[in-house]
Structure 1
Amino acid sequence: MWLKNITLLNFKNYTDADLHFSSTVNVFTGNNGSGKTNMLDAIHYLCLCKSYFNPIDGQQIKTGEEVFMIQGDFDRNAQNEKITCGVKRNQKKQFKRNKKEYDKLADHIGLFPVVMVSPYDVNLIMEGSEERRKFIDNVISQTNGHYLDQLIIYNKILLNRNALLKQIAITRKYDPTLLEILDDQLIAAGNKIFDIRKAFMDEYIPLFNQYYAYLTDNKETVELNYQSQLNESSFQELLRKSVEKDRVLERTTTGIHKDELAFIISEMPLKKFGSQGQQKSFLIALKLAQYAYLSKNKGFKPLLLLDDIFDKLDDNRVQKLMKMVSHQDFGQIFITDTGKERVELVFKKIDVAVTLFEVKEGHIKNA
């Protein structure tokens, strides 16, 4: 699968753009703030119906305009697929595949898999466990539509259970039967999600270990641990034991919404003890493992978007990374960087041809 072309209208800082891409390596160069990352985000929109950076669609419309449009043609299994996304201020987002609008956006997820590597990913390390759960959910959702359905169901039941706990606290009337009904529903959805996450991590962790070892020449010891309360006890038993605590705190304190992904380096938390270079290598390995997992489970290669990838990596790791993604089991790649000469030198060293685009203040052209 690869993206043949893209057309933008009033998207972020672009008034308009019309680009044709190579099926291999495409590089956007320009100063910070010129719009390089916005182009990657437009590609992400076409693949996953949303921005990688900002969940509010209306905020992607160019200042002073009322609508944005993104359109692209994919080659997918030797078939042309035209994807169109349009957003008007204060109106529902429109998303079409081959001119037919989706009944629900979730039907699009996974058809055009994509992996983004960005400086923004440091939030996976520095922020709370919710960011890391979202990462797991995003990867699995691109290969398993049933999983996304179960997540939606679980979150709705969780909201209802928390609302009931608040109501019990206010009215001081406790009917255990009502709570048991919600518990049974929560357990049914939660167990399915846990089983899928566990199976995913069993396949994903060896891929991560392989890529981190490659990037660092096996010089560092890292671990990726999936931590869940359901590893220690059944969901039913967890809810039974925590019912009094839940009533006091007026929220559900146990379940798969408390799952965590622990990042460890040299037996210590990566957040506190990893250097910037080690953290970036860790994040890149996470994303390359995501790519390998999607590629294997989808049966074709996703798009790979590398935003500002050379920052905080030494020359050796940069060259190893570019050589790997250009020569091995990777398909179409989009890269941003501030230095045109640096990009040309890196790819000249590894003997890989690239298609270059220059970006300047929301204008873009072939270099």
Structure 2
Amino acid sequence: MICKKIRFKDFRNISEADIELCPEVNIFYGNNAEGKTNALEGIYLFAHGKSFRTSSDKDMISFDKDVANCKLYFEDSVRSHDMEIKLIRGSRKICQRNGVVIKKMSDFVGYFRAVLFCPEHLSVIKDGPSERRNFLDSAICQLKPIYLASLQRYNNILNQRNTLLKNYEEDRQSFDRTFDLWSAYLAREAALIARERYEYVKVLDGYVNSFFNDMTLGRESTKMDYSCALTEEEYLQKLTSNVEKEIKAGTTLYGIHKDDIDIYLNGNEARSFCSQGQQRCLALAMKLGEGEISRSVTGEHPVFLFDDIFSELDSKRKEYVTNGIKKCQVIITSCEKEGLERVAGNVIEVTQGKYSRIK
């Protein structure tokens, strides 16, 4: 999978840009706050349907504008494609694929696939469970449209159920009439999501251990588990047996929104025992594993997006990452000028939202 060109109009600090990319390495070079990450964010938007920097679409629209336009041209092994996203202040975004308006995000996400690696991901091992759940959801959504649709339904149902719990004393009638129904709906979606997460982690475990073993020259090993209920009946039993506690708490206490990945390093819990260096190696291995699973499922290498990540890595890890993604298109942001002349690919200088190819 190759991103050929990306166009922006009134996106962040980019008034207008038409950026052509090569199939190998592309580096956006410039000082901080010039707009390097904005381009990466725009490309990521087509893979995930949302930003990795903000939860609000309006934040991506230029300050004095009401509409932002992004258009991506890419090709896979079958044909060329174009995708377009129009962000509208005060309204829902409009998404198109090959000229056809796509109304459901679950029908849009996954046609263009990208793996993002940014400095925040380096702490995924020691961060809270929500970061590891986000990692799983982000990866699986690109591969399974049904997963994204189920995740959206789960979150909507969860909100309804939580509202009933929160308002139990004030609206007992609504609780008695609909609570069991919402619990059954929640259990159904939870079981589907949990099975997909479980299967993904089972495959990811092998890749992560292999990559980590390579990085440490065979000295260390890893293990990953996703322990959870897997059937609808198991989830429903958990939900119905904790109702009194949930009424007191005013929220749903059990479900896939509370799950976590158990990660072990040399038999010990990685979150408690790994050093900063080991933590970074594990995060790298997880991202490389994500790319390999995407390739094995779809038959296409995803595009790798590296946001200022090489400044966070030592020379050995930089070399390992570079060697591990030689067959993939890579788009990198960097503040470092040193070594750019040796890059076998595009170097694009970014200044105040303007993009100029210098190599």
- TM-score, scaled to structure 1: 0.88
* CA distances 1:142-188 after superposition (whole Å, capped 9, x unpaired): 11112222222222222222222233333566976743333322222
Matches within 5 A, 1:355-366: 355-366=346-357
Residue 357 to residue 175, structure 1, CA distance change in 2 (3 Å)? closer
The match for 1:350 is none
* CA distances 1:38-61 after superposition (whole Å, capped 9, x unpaired): 111111123322222112111112
Residue in structure 1 matching 2:334, options 319, 332, 337: 337
Shift of 1:127: 4.0
Q: Distance in 2 between matches of 1:146 and 1:8?
A: 30
- Indicate conservation of the 8 Å contact 1:68/1:88, yes or no: yes
Matches within 5 A, 1:1-367: 1-122=1-122, 124-171=124-171, 178-228=178-228, 234-267=234-267, 269-271=269-271, 273-326=273-326, 330-345=327-342, 353-367=344-358
- Indicate conservation of the 8 Å contact 1:123/1:131, yes or no: no
Q: Distance in 1 between matches of 2:12 and 2:120?
A: 18
Residue 226 to residue 27, structure 1, CA distance change in 2 (3 Å)? same
Residue 81 to residue 169, structure 1, CA distance change in 2 (3 Å)? same
Shift of 1:250: 2.2
The residue identity in structure 1 corresponding to 2:100 is: K
- Indicate conservation of the 8 Å contact 1:277/1:312, yes or no: no
Q: Distance in 1 between matches of 2:175 and 2:120?
A: 46
Q: Distance in 2 between matches of 1:325 and 1:268?
A: 29
Residue 173 to residue 95, structure 1, CA distance change in 2 (3 Å)? closer
Q: Distance in 2 between matches of 1:178 and 1:12?
A: 44
- SS of the counterpart of 2:18? strand
* CA distances 1:62-112 after superposition (whole Å, capped 9, x unpaired): 233332211121112342212111223222212111222112222111111
- Indicate conservation of the 8 Å contact 1:224/1:264, yes or no: yes
Q: Distance in 2 between matches of 1:313 and 1:301?
A: 23
The residue identity in structure 2 corresponding to 1:81 is: H
Residue 4 to residue 246, structure 1, CA distance change in 2 (3 Å)? same
* CA distances 1:222-254 after superposition (whole Å, capped 9, x unpaired): 3333233559x9223322331221222122211
- Indicate conservation of the 8 Å contact 1:86/1:93, yes or no: yes
Runs of 5+ consecutive residues of structure 2 not aligned to the other structure: none
Identity among equivalent positions (%) equals 29
The residue identity in structure 2 corresponding to 1:335 is: I
- Indicate conservation of the 8 Å contact 1:169/1:250, yes or no: no
Residue 63 to residue 219, structure 1, CA distance change in 2 (3 Å)? farther
Residue 194 to residue 314, structure 1, CA distance change in 2 (3 Å)? same
- SS of the counterpart of 1:151? helix
- SS of the counterpart of 1:283? helix
Task: Pick which of 217-226 and 128-137 moved more.
Answer: 217-226
- Indicate conservation of the 8 Å contact 1:337/1:343, yes or no: no
Q: Distance in 2 between matches of 1:86 and 1:135?
A: 26
Q: Distance in 2 between matches of 1:171 and 1:66?
A: 41
- SS of the counterpart of 2:124? helix
Q: Distance in 2 between matches of 1:332 and 1:170?
A: 56
- TM-score, scaled to structure 2: 0.90
* CA distances 1:246-300 after superposition (whole Å, capped 9, x unpaired): 2221222112221112344455554555444333222221111111111111121
Task: Pick which of 266-275 and 295-304 moved more.
Answer: 266-275
Q: Distance in 1 between matches of 2:165 and 2:137?
A: 27
- Indicate conservation of the 8 Å contact 1:125/1:271, yes or no: yes
Residue 83 to residue 177, structure 1, CA distance change in 2 (3 Å)? closer
Residue 311 to residue 219, structure 1, CA distance change in 2 (3 Å)? farther
Q: C-alpha root-mean-square deviation of aligned residues, in Å?
A: 2.4
- Indicate conservation of the 8 Å contact 2:164/2:175, yes or no: no
- SS of the counterpart of 1:83? strand
Residue 82 to residue 148, structure 1, CA distance change in 2 (3 Å)? same
Task: Pick which of 17-26 and 116-125 moved more.
Answer: 116-125
Task: Pick which of 205-214 and 124-133 moved more.
Answer: 124-133
Shift of 1:334: 0.8
Q: Distance in 2 between matches of 1:140 and 1:317?
A: 26
Residue 78 to residue 195, structure 1, CA distance change in 2 (3 Å)? closer
- Indicate conservation of the 8 Å contact 1:117/1:309, yes or no: yes
Runs of 5+ consecutive residues of structure 1 not aligned to the other structure: 348-352
- SS of the counterpart of 1:17? strand
- Indicate conservation of the 8 Å contact 2:154/2:186, yes or no: yes
- Indicate conservation of the 8 Å contact 1:276/1:312, yes or no: no
- SS of the counterpart of 1:16? strand
- Indicate conservation of the 8 Å contact 2:86/2:95, yes or no: yes
